[in-house]
Amino acid sequence: MRVVERYHQLVAAGELRADPEQAAAAERLDRLQTELEQLAAPVGLIGRLLGRTSIASPRGIYLWGSVGRGKSMLMDLFHDNLGHSSKRRAHFHAFMQDVHARLHEERKKESGDPILPVAAAIAATARVLAFDEMVVNNSADAMIMSRLFTALIERHDVVIVTTSNRAPADLYKNGLNREHFLPFIALIESRLDVLGLNGPTDYRLDRMQGVGTWHTPVGDAATAQVREAFFRLTDFSPEDSANVPSAELDVGVGRSLHVPKSLKGVAVFSFKRLCLEARGAPDYLAIARTYHTVILVAIPLLGPERRNETMRFITLIDALYEHKVKLIATAAADPADLYDRSLGGDEEGRFAFDRTVSRLMEMQSQDYLALGHGED
């Protein structure tokens, strides 16, 4: 079936709302579908007589926009309907983890530049690469991507189709050694059609209706609620939960933070990992810049007996709030009751937490949830 035909079927059935930007993106993906299927088809006798032995590789597509605008849905329509046997769809984090593993094996051979054989091996298995949520959050990926994708596109005619929450020029913004990444941005802008998808409706927010963002007390019921939220936000199959990708987030000064679950701009952390360990503002800012939604589980009662954890939690919430990150949590109590005042403590600590309570309450409001990531 054609991409655009399937899209209009979903609109007619009421599964999607009519959206001019989505419709335009579906039309462009439909044209790419036609070009790729022609590329994959045999040239035929007439074509050979006319000297046509191949068709030029078509331009790829970079589809970017705010959270919940339908990018992943359109990517699924394209990949599922594409009649091309050599195609691969992957989440970008998982793809880069595979690349790093391949590079590690190539370096063992000590046979020269490992990028070129890795690019050749990837191209041998897929001539169409469809990525969801392209994001660059560490210098290791940034150093690799320009050379790898140049080889894939220019040496092997691999067609790239990707989604991202960021415009190409904003990828790895303010990142360490970003000058080495700029050729990759230039490659995207010269070899892919860049399409914006920033309509007024956040469809992912619609899916969150009835799920809630703050769940008490900590336990099986609350865990089930945030688990449901994760799968609604990421479109990942609950049956495949053991294979949710993780990530290593570059937080600067040579340090990284392990993200146990990282998918489509959603990160899952335990309170213990973020607030009991020795973390600080750079860690929390890296999280806030990278993820549009953070799921934080098992927040305990806080207060003077947990002074260090409490101060880290305050710093974390400040970073998430300033970057308009959506927070979904399981906690021992509602925000207003999270600070155990019966234990006394210094007045400054209580005052600081009162501001955090106010922010936590605002972060549950529909007005806040409707804001785009990083929006002022």
- Please give the full DSSP string across 126-195, using - where no structure is assigned: -SEEEEES----SHHHHHHHHHHHHIIIIIT--EEEEEESS-GGGTTTT-TTGGGTHHHHHHHHHHEEEE
Look at strands 60-64 and 87-91 and give their pairing. Answer: unpaired
pLDDT at 52: 47
Domain 203-369 has CATH 3.20.20: no
Taking the model in full, what pTM does it have? 0.63
For 28-78, the pLDDT digits (tens) are: 999 999 999 988 766 554 454 555 445 568 999 999 987 677 888 899 899
Domains 3-196 and 203-369 share a fold: yes
pLDDT at 270: 97
pLDDT at 53: 47
Listing DSSP states for 267-293 in one string gives EEEEHIIIIISS--HHHHHHHHHH-SE
Which stretches in the chain have pLDDT values below 50? Answer: 45-46, 48, 52-53, 376
The domain limits of the chain are 3-196, 203-369
Homologous superfamily of 3-196: P-loop containing nucleotide triphosphate hydrolases (3.40.50.300)
For 140-186, the pLDDT digits (tens) are: 888 899 899 999 999 999 999 999 888 999 888 878 888 889 999 99
- pLDDT averaged over the chain? 86
Which amino acid is located at 264 in the chain?
Answer: K
DSSP 8-state secondary structure symbol assigned to residue 218: S
pLDDT at 325: 92
pLDDT at 341: 72
**And the tokens for 328?**
């979904």
CA atoms within 13 A on the CB side of 352: 18
> Is the C-alpha dihedral spanning 213, 215, 221, 223 positive or negative?
positive
User: How crowded is residue 204: how many other Cβ atoms within 10 Å of its Cβ?
Assistant: 24
Calpha distance 251→170 (Å, rounded): 18
3-state percent helix, strand, coil for the chain, nearest multiple of 5: 50, 15, 30
**And the tokens for 230?**
């994760």
Contact 164, 172 (CB under 8 A): no
